[in-house]
Amino acid sequence: MEGLRAFYVLGQDIVVQPKPERTTIVARDCWDRVTTASDEDQALLSGLGPGTYVVEAQDPTGRVVADELTTVGRHPGERPVHGFATSFTAEALEDTLQWLRSLRCTVVQIYDWMESYSAPLGPSPGWKDPSGRDVSFQALQDLASGIRAQGGVAHAYAPLYAIDPPFAAQHLDWLMYRGDGSPERLFDGIQLADPSNPEWQAHFSATYGRAAESIGFGGFHLDTYGFPRAGRDKRGRPIDMRAAYSSFLRAFRSTRPGELLSFNQVNGVPSALALPGGPAFRYCEIWAPNDRWRHFEGLLDRSAGLAGHLGPAKGGPLARGTLACYPPVWSAQDCSGGAEDQARTDALRTVVLTEAIATSLGASLLVYGDRRAALADAYYPKHERLSRSEAATALAWHRFALACRDLFLEGEDTSWYDIGDDNGAVRVLWGGGPVSPEPLGGSVFARVARDDHYVAVSVLDLSGSEKGSWSRPTRPGHCRSVQVQVLLDAPEHWRAYVAVLGRDGDRFAPVEFSVVGHREGLAAEVEVPVQAGWSVLRLLRHSPPH
């Protein structure tokens, strides 16, 4: 694998460098469709459609001697592989870039890098951030260029209405106010500007734009705090927050037309907000009362304006975007099992399952980044640093998610009228308990995506979770296999493949299936191992129907 570690994503092309000698470079998608490099020396894979690919170096016998996962698209936020960075010193740079490279990140949120919210770019050679941490200007530049060299975007965290109190005191007309006439604020150190105020919009765009150009950022994560819900201007007039956010996004986009933007709809607020034109993706930070895995789907669909549908329309999951999640599961006293080692195992299992669930729902997750870190708090420096063995486990689950995720981004999601419905076309059974189309504690969570040429069934073992919560530790489950039946129009025209986390290099391997009766005809029946907690069954049509 070392031979393919360095690669560059250029639009919808992949350049592999260095290319191992006497090898052929191919890219394989999750349907096992293969594209062969056209350039023998540089290994250029061109004209690829948006998606995640396993890039392989094959020797003359066809044996894979090295491989790597990478994602391409019209812009890096189209199918973001998210990470974060919050250490801005020369000493942290190499470790941070190495972990982000291991995660195959295409979008890296650079968190709390500014000197102040109203004047983000401090003096060279460095400054202290709003919390008093040291920031090296050179390290920030090197981090941004290093992320860019790895095929990603350095995405600057930028709270779109945060304004420092001294600066706010000089611009009282720019602020938002509460019903009692006092300024809206987050804690004591941050007041809130009115996003629709043109003068604030111009100030924000100019100051953050200069910082981006000086440091090398490729876009912005425009953050909100989920409130106010009833803000007022200086004259006491109500501010329509949906209209205010939309006004801000349009104004900011006009000054940064080609840069990647995301906007934080905290807990889905405001729902169904239209994103600005140009490269952008939807982003939703999770808080109570959305404290269960089963809340993810509704939260994502309300954010995107898909709520009320049994499932997104064909291709709809791409609108679901990214979840940001901070599982507070790492303190030993909150973990089951008593012993510290078991406590950390339980905590990590919650984190990896959370990413797996998001993937099965057709969404991305922001939880990993910096130096082998996992988020545990909304203030990113309060993250949990993983041990090397924990990081290896996290990467194994993360790689499996990337290898399978396009199946659940591309197809129509039919889970809610397949799983558990007597008339459903898919049936999943196991000996230990219930199967559900939503991620419930004590269950096997099954998700179905389909198109004319494929059916995919994701199977996740949540039997070790008591509450089905992303904010509680999770014990290992006890599901070892499931029986899956899928109604097919003509089983003889289909082939079955199974990917099992931790087996066969996580690749889809062909499996035999039995043909059994179904109330509407014939179904393929497959026994699917679930040895590590997650498996995916993929059925492909190999010849057209009569």
> What per-residue confidence (pLDDT) applies to 216?
97
Q: Which two tokens stand for residue 297?
A: 């789907």
- Which pLDDT does position 133 carry in this prediction? 94
Nearest alpha-carbon partner for 350 in 267, 520, 470: 470
CA–CA separation, 249 vs 192, rounded Å? Answer: 16
CA angle 264, 76, 539 (to 5 degrees): 100
Question: Would you call the peptide bond into 270 cis, given omega within 30 degrees of 0 as the criterion?
Answer: yes
Would you give the DSSP letter of residue 10? E
If DSSP codes are grouped into helix, strand and coil, which group holds residue 138? helix
393 forms beta bridges with none
500-511 burial: b if 16+ Cβ within 10 Å, else e = bbbeeebbbeee
Q: Give pLDDT tens digits along the chain (546 positions).
A: 333 333 444 455 666 666 777 888 888 999 999 888 876 666 777 778 888 998 888 888 988 888 888 888 888 888 899 999 999 999 999 999 999 999 999 999 999 999 999 999 999 899 999 899 999 999 999 999 999 988 899 999 999 999 999 999 999 999 999 999 999 999 888 999 999 999 999 999 999 999 999 999 999 999 999 999 889 999 999 999 999 999 999 999 999 999 999 999 999 999 989 888 999 999 999 999 999 999 999 999 999 887 544 344 444 445 578 999 999 999 754 444 457 789 999 999 999 999 999 999 999 999 999 999 999 999 999 999 999 999 999 999 999 999 999 999 988 999 999 998 888 999 999 987 899 999 999 999 999 999 999 999 999 999 999 999 999 999 999 999 999 999 999 999 999 999 999 988 778 999 999 999 888 899 999 999 998 999 999 999 987 655
Domain 412-541 CATH (choose: 2.60.40.1180, 2.30.40.10, 3.40.50.300, 2.40.30.10):
2.60.40.1180
Q: What tokens were used for 291? A: 């404290």
Question: What residue type is assigned to position 324 of the chain?
Answer: A
Q: How far is CA 135 from CA 126, 132, 386, in A?
A: 5, 9, 23
Q: How many CB atoms lie within 10 A of CB 190?
A: 18
Beta-bridged to residue 539, according to DSSP, are: 455, 496
Nearest to 29 by CA among 79, 86, 87: 79
Residue 315 near residue 307 (C-beta atoms within 8 A): no
454-461 and 444-450 beta bridge pairing: antiparallel
- Contact indicator for 281, 262 with CB cutoff of 8 Å: yes
Domain 2-72, classified CATH 1.10.760, yes or no: no
Q: CB–CB of 324/366 below 8 Å?
A: yes
| Distance separating alpha carbons of residues 247 and 174, to the nearest angstrom | 14
Give the burial class of 64: count Cβ atoms within 10 A of its Cβ; 0-12 exposed, 13-18 middle, 19 or more buried.
Answer: middle
**What is the predicted pLDDT for the residue at 504?**
80
Interior CA angle at 245 toward 243 and 246, to 5°?
60
Backbone Cα Rg of the chain: 24
How far is 297 from 290, CA to CA, in rounded Å?
10
Torsion of CA 221, 5, 347, 143, to 10 degrees: -40
3-state class (DSSP) for residue 525: strand
Contacts of 210 (CB under 8 A, 6+ apart): 121
- Pseudo-torsion of CA 77, 79, 83, 84, nearest 10°? 20
CA distances 485 to 162, 333, 352, 482, 511, Å, are 53, 42, 27, 10, 14
Please state the domain extents for the chain: 2-72, 412-541
Query: Against a cut of 0.85, is the pTM above it?
Result: yes
Location of structure tokens 């089983």 = 491
Q: Which residues pair with residue 427 across a beta bridge? A: 485
Whether the domain at 2-72 and the domain at 412-541 fall into the same CATH topology: yes
Amino acid at 241: M
Task: Identify the burial level of 44 via C-beta atoms within 10 angstroms of its C-beta, where 0-12 means exposed, 13-18 middle and 19 or more buried.
Answer: middle
CA-CA-CA-CA torsion sign (210, 216, 221, 225): negative
Distance CA 350, CA 428 (A): 23
For every residue of 382-433, DSSP letters joined together read G-EEPPHHHHHHHHHHHHHHHHHHHHHHHSEE-GGGTTT-TT-SEEEE-TTS
Residue 76 in 3-state DSSP?
A: coil
Q: Which residues contact 522 (CB under 8 A, 6 or more apart)?
A: 487, 488, 491, 515, 516
Closest by alpha carbon to 128, among 88, 73, 176, 158? 88
Sign for the pseudo-dihedral over CA of 420, 423, 426, 427: positive
d(CA 255, CA 234): 27
The phi, psi pair for 37, rounded to 5°, reads: -60, 140
